[in-house]
Structure 1
Amino acid sequence: MVTSGGFIQACEQEQLHLSGAIQSYGALLIANKKTIQITHLSSNISDFISGFDEHSVGHLVPEILEGLIQNFNGTTQFYENELQGINSRLDVILNAVDEQHMAIELVPSLPHVRLQSAIKVLPPSIDSDAVLNSVRQQLVDYIAELTGFERVMYYEFLPSGDGEVIAESCQREGMGSYLGLRFPASDIPQIARDLYLKTPWRAIYDASAPTASVMGHFTPDLTHSHLRSVSPVHIQYMRNMGVMSSVSWSIIGRNELSALLSIHDAEAKAIPLPVMQHLWEVIAQFNLMLREFAARKRMNLHARMQEQLNKLQVRINSAESFSDVWPQLSAWLMKEFKLQGVLLVHANEQFTAGTLQLEPHAFKQVQTMLLNSKEMLWQTDNLLGALPAIELSEVAGVAALNALPQSQQGFQLYLLRSCETYQISWGGRSDKPHEQQGELAISPRRSFEKWIETRLSFSMPWSEDTRLKLMKLRLLLQLLK
């Protein structure tokens, strides 16, 4: 039996982009961009185009593809119904392998409905959280209608790394709902999240189908490959969920993966390439609106905070001593951050407010950690879990701002929250150890049924705005004398 920590470590070490195999739904050629010679091909190439087999490494690519290669600009390119294969017309996908090589992927060309312009699918902008929720649901409903997949989920990543389904569309009765359920960070390791940032989407056509090996003289980088094979752990994960096929599109925040739009089906399914492209464009439009809305919210928060801090600054500048300012400042802090207690260490003095305070032994542990840390900001909603040396404390949540250099001239601010019993709904028991299944030494949990975790030693989580607010507050507190 492998612990959750061991499971995560093993997943992070898996070189997904160097799998040396592709999904057998399509075929792959890799060519040198200058010589147009084939350096790699998939073992199933003869199932898709004639005249090529495992002995074709070193040959020139088919003449019909030379023009595409010469026009390749280094980014992923799609060509619908481009050439005749053995059993059907084929779409062609071009993507980069490295500076000298490019991949040519061949997939069956499928019929599709007439598609409207991507910019007409959703409203032109998002101006409130209520509108955001409505547009998000509209998006998942549209994807469900267009693809026919059984389940569509908007899966948002939380600051903790866990994910939560915040919008869903289910097409079949009795399949259950994941709406409102959380999933642990280990379900999508960081190495997989990094790949989502580099590809327009990730499609898995048939989790039960065998892979096709990529033959050549070195293992190619398949980071950008549309057909890249699937991790055995993820295949088992899909089977445990009762899913055979899936597609995921990325929602990207400020240089990080903020959410996934994922579709699942219990049967092996493929979406026509133009439909995949269309949905990519629709999601990109949504992503742009989402970033613009988030930017406006940050600007509004900056403006509101600055207005409040300007008032406090006037009060500080006019006061004879900091003791005269503290009642007004602490009352504002308690309300703004929803606190039960606050502590400010300044000029070898401690100023407190509220009904909750760090016990002397707990304060010593937290302060020592801050002084030894290079981080200016630190926060936790589970103090006893974050600092096990603190055996007992009424404080559960701490957000600390440290501006106390070795000279001791500066300040430390501690925002304090008490324990609050609350529940989190998980998709499966997140703390259950991972067991061996079949040939896998490790594999994901078997059950995804709703499991309720009752948290007893946690405070309510700090909002994503906490860090921004504290950084602005730091500028005000630097005025203290």
Structure 2
Amino acid sequence: MQKKNYDSDFCGSVPLNFINQIQPYGFLVILKRSDLSIIQVSQNIAGLLNEEPDQLINKSFNQFVEEQETKVFHTRFENKVDKLPVPLTINANGQRKKYLAITHAKEEYFILEIEEVQSKDDKDNSFISVYQDIKQAAYAIESADTVEDAYDITLRELKRISGFDKIMIYQFDKDWNGIVVGEIQEEGMESYMGLRFPASDIPKQARQLYLKNPYRQIPDCNYTPVKLYPIINPLTQTFIDLSDCNIRGVPAVHTEYLRNMKISASMSTRIIKDEKLWGLISCHHRDPKFLSYELCSVFELLSGILSAKFSSIQNKEEYDYSSRLQEIHAKLVEQIYRQGNVVEAISNGDSTILDLLNIEGAAISYKKNLETVGKTPDKNSLKDLIIWLQTNNIDKTFHTTELSDVYEDGLKFTDIASGMIVLPIHAEKGEYILGFRPEVVEKVNWGGNPDEAINFEKDGKNYHPRNSFKLWQQTVKNTSLPWQKHELTVAENFRNVLVEYALKKYNPDVAK
């Protein structure tokens, strides 16, 4: 079986940001920017302001908060600062309570996500405690020598700080499937370590939202959604865009997914590498669990530290590998010009074309001769392959990990040539260097059958996630190890050397 793409177009088209519902762990208030009048609220607003939604519309928010606190909305947001936590003291029914409003500044209005501030005696609301947690965890992560050590330390520290039953590090592959590369959990929970989850579990639109929002909290997946009043934003005459809101409601299919995992609460924090979504820190809890804004911020900060550490370690590994390839490249170039024989120079000696391209076999078609080194298809098969390259006008560096997927006759020799890289020297004359990588039969361990990730009812409208996440193994054949970025770079540089050398040989005037 060959690899499949499980990134569902259907799931990726669901409008998550216009869900028009919130989770009930907080309140949503939308204020007109010009005068701070209330234009839209969540229908649980009576729990905050002691008045029903229809009674609040067009009232000034000033009558519910301290006067000096509302000045923030006219001063701090002038420079387009967004997602700013604003402390509020709400006066309702003769009582004064402390709240925190995560404020989003839009062109015509403010969106306030409001949650009650817990007692100052609570550990996670103390600046000192939060700072100490971050300092201790950051120091531990920075001490890691390998990526695996960084995983383990991060998981251990976040579990200590948060108390979640299970925390995983979830890495996306090139097809956006997620692989659990690190895990810590309480006894009795099903382990997902090493399992792969299809891209449709976190579809494209959800992944895009993680680029806007550092984390996503679901304190209780069994919650009853809270709608907005009025349904339509009176300023935009549309559903309000809740893309930036942590309190945004959750699609029913995802809460069902969490229940099928036998968990009640979840928390996911993004990991960014090279300005792209690399993965997630995914937390599960068997009972409902709410994290304060302060503790969520700890996750956000530590994910940034973890991202920087990953980059530091991986960049060093990549630099070391790139440097080694460059050394081999220099040796081969020196051998070519010293010996004056391309085939001999790259086939024999301390360093060969096999070392440069990390391959097990190579075919060199040059000056009407076809020579091989290492493990390659037979010469008749190679000649047919060269004709195919010419027919398809492959005159630039080309690579594939699934040769049989683009060249049908490749099925005859997948054991030694599932992967191929092509360095054209003079395509019209059939002069190429072909590098081959053998088949690597991969056992892919999925968390449940990926072909059953989405199950539609008979009406074709309603759908449900899979209800099993037990090991489902898939055997992937006819593929090789992937070609790394530095390997492709050095291959292109080496091809340029060969083209220049051949050009000088064919046209001696070029060298003058």
Report SS of the residue matched to 1:164.
strand
Please state if 1:154 is matched with 2:169. Answer: yes
Please state if 1:473 is matched with 2:495. Answer: no
> 1:476: Cα distance to partner?
2.1
Give me the whole-angstrom Cα distance separating, in 2, the residues matched to 1:118 and 1:366. Answer: 58
Cα–Cα, structure 1 residues 363 and 410, in superposed 2: closer, same or farther, change >3 Å? Answer: closer
Q: Which of these residues, 93, 104, 111, is aligned with residue 95 of structure 1?
A: 104
Q: Which of these residues, 202, 221, 230, is aligned with residue 216 of structure 2?
A: 202
Contact 1:365–1:390 (8 Å) recurs in 2: no
Cα–Cα, structure 1 residues 320 and 360, in superposed 2: closer, same or farther, change >3 Å? Answer: closer
Q: Which of these residues, 243, 265, 281, is aligned with residue 245 of structure 1?
A: 265
The one-letter amino acid paired with 1:254 is D
Percent identical residues: 21
> 1:370: Cα distance to partner?
6.4
Give me the whole-angstrom Cα distance separating, in 2, the residues matched to 1:241 and 1:454. Answer: 25
The TM-score, its normalising length taken from structure 1, stands at 0.85
Residue 192 of structure 1: aligned partner: 206
Cα–Cα, structure 1 residues 339 and 6, in superposed 2: closer, same or farther, change >3 Å? Answer: closer
Please state if 1:121 is matched with 2:141. Answer: no
Q: Which of these residues, 312, 322, 325, is aligned with residue 305 of structure 1?
A: 325
> 1:249: Cα distance to partner?
0.6
The one-letter amino acid paired with 2:155 is V
Please state if 1:444 is matched with 2:465. Answer: yes
Please state if 1:75 is matched with 2:82. Answer: yes
Report SS of the residue matched to 1:44.
coil
Residue 168 of structure 1: aligned partner: 183
Give me the whole-angstrom Cα distance separating, in 2, the residues matched to 1:351 and 1:337. Answer: 17
- Gap runs ≥5 in structure 2: 124-128, 503-512
- 74-83 or 146-155: which moved more? 74-83
The one-letter amino acid paired with 1:367 is L
Give me the whole-angstrom Cα distance separating, in 1, the residues matched to 2:357 and 2:455. Answer: 42
Contact 1:32–1:100 (8 Å) recurs in 2: yes
> 1:425: Cα distance to partner?
1.9
Structure with greater helix percent = 2
> 1:263: Cα distance to partner?
0.4
- 408-417 or 203-212: which moved more? 408-417
Q: Following superposition of structure 1 onto structure 2, how do residues 105-120 of structure 1 map, counting pairs within 5 Å?
A: 105-111=113-119, 112-113=122-123, 114-115=129-130, 116=132, 118-120=134-136
Residue 398 of structure 1: aligned partner: 419
The one-letter amino acid paired with 1:458 is T
Residue 314 of structure 1: aligned partner: 334
> 1:347: Cα distance to partner?
6.6
> 1:66: Cα distance to partner?
2.2
Contact 2:5–2:175 (8 Å) recurs in 1: no
Contact 1:38–1:57 (8 Å) recurs in 2: yes
Larger Rg computed on CA atoms: 2
Cα–Cα, structure 1 residues 470 and 370, in superposed 2: closer, same or farther, change >3 Å? Answer: farther
- Deviations along 1:387-426, one digit per CA (max 9) or x if unpaired, are 3845733226324356579x84897554322223342222
Report SS of the residue matched to 1:317.
helix
- 154-163 or 107-116: which moved more? 107-116
Aligned residues: 468
The TM-score, its normalising length taken from structure 2, stands at 0.80
Give me the whole-angstrom Cα distance separating, in 2, the residues matched to 1:83 and 1:362. Answer: 79
Cα–Cα, structure 1 residues 134 and 7, in superposed 2: closer, same or farther, change >3 Å? Answer: closer
Residue 144 of structure 1: aligned partner: 159
> 1:137: Cα distance to partner?
0.9
The one-letter amino acid paired with 1:471 is T
> 1:49: Cα distance to partner?
2.2
